């Protein structure tokens, strides 16, 4: 029996801008560089126009502050690993580093799901590492 393969973190019905804003709202960093923020957003989209729209939307909504290439999340929210992160067995490619995985970790938000990630990349994306 073949295991399922999950290649994309965003299906055609999920708004990548809303998902990206939600991810930024849940980062556990006090501050991070624009490059590090873009690294996280590339788990949702690699389109620079969509990435820019995510950052602009998050700033307008008061989710983040941007100054001199530094992003400061303002929401105080974080990913609750016990309820918002699920693991699945299968054949996956990590959305952050591209490594092959037999266990993928997915972050579930109301606006959609982000993943799969490996065990170290899930911590990196959420700001726990």
Residue 27 reports pLDDT greater than 80: yes
Q: How many domains does the chain have?
A: 2
Same domain, 56 and 87: no
Same domain, 85 and 107: yes
Same domain, 49 and 68: yes
Residue 1 reports pLDDT greater than 50: no
Same domain, 67 and 21: yes
Largest CA distance in the chain: 52
Question: Bigger pLDDT: 4 or 104?
Answer: 104
Res 4: pLDDT: 37
Same domain, 27 and 67: yes
Res 11: pLDDT: 52
Q: Which of 39, 41, 30 is nearest to 70 (CA)?
A: 30
Tell which of 58, 73, 88 closes a domain. 73
Pseudo-torsion of CA 43, 110, 63, 83, nearest 10°? -80
Same domain, 83 and 69: no
Res 13: pLDDT: 66
Same domain, 88 and 67: no
Q: Which of 69, 65, 66, 19 is nearest to 42 (CA)?
A: 19
Three-state DSSP class for 22?
helix
Residue 56 makes CB contacts below 8 A (sequence gap 6+) with: none
Check the CA dihedral 126-75-17-90 and report its sign. Answer: positive
Identify the H or E element spanning 67.
Answer: strand 64-67
Note down the domain range covering 62.
16-73
- 2 within a domain of the structure (yes/no): no
Arithmetic mean of pLDDT, 8-21:
74
pLDDT tens, residue by residue, 39-65:
989 989 989 999 999 999 999 999 999
Same domain, 21 and 64: yes
pLDDT tens, residue by residue, 69-123:
999 988 777 777 778 899 999 999 999 899 999 999 999 988 889 899 999 999 8
* 39 CB burial (10 A radius; 0-12, 13-18, 19+): middle
- 4 within a domain of the structure (yes/no): no
Residue 38 reports pLDDT greater than 90: yes
């Amino acid at each position: 029996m073949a295991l399922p393969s999950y290649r994309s973190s965003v299906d055609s019905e999920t708004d990548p801008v809303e998902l990206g804003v939600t991810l930024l709202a849940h980062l556990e960093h006090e501050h991070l560089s624009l490059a590090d923020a873009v690294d996280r957003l590339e788990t949702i989209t690699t389109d620079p126009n969509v990435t820019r729209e995510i950052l602009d939307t998050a700033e307008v909504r008061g989710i983040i502050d941007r100054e001199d290439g530094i992003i400061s999340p303002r929401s105080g929210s974080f990913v609750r690993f016990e309820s918002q992160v699920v693991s699945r067995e299968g054949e996956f490619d990590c959305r952050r580093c591209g490594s092959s995985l037999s266990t993928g970790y997915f972050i579930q938000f109301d606006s959609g799901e982000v993943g799969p990630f490996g065990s170290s990349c899930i911590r990196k994306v959420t700001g726990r590492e």
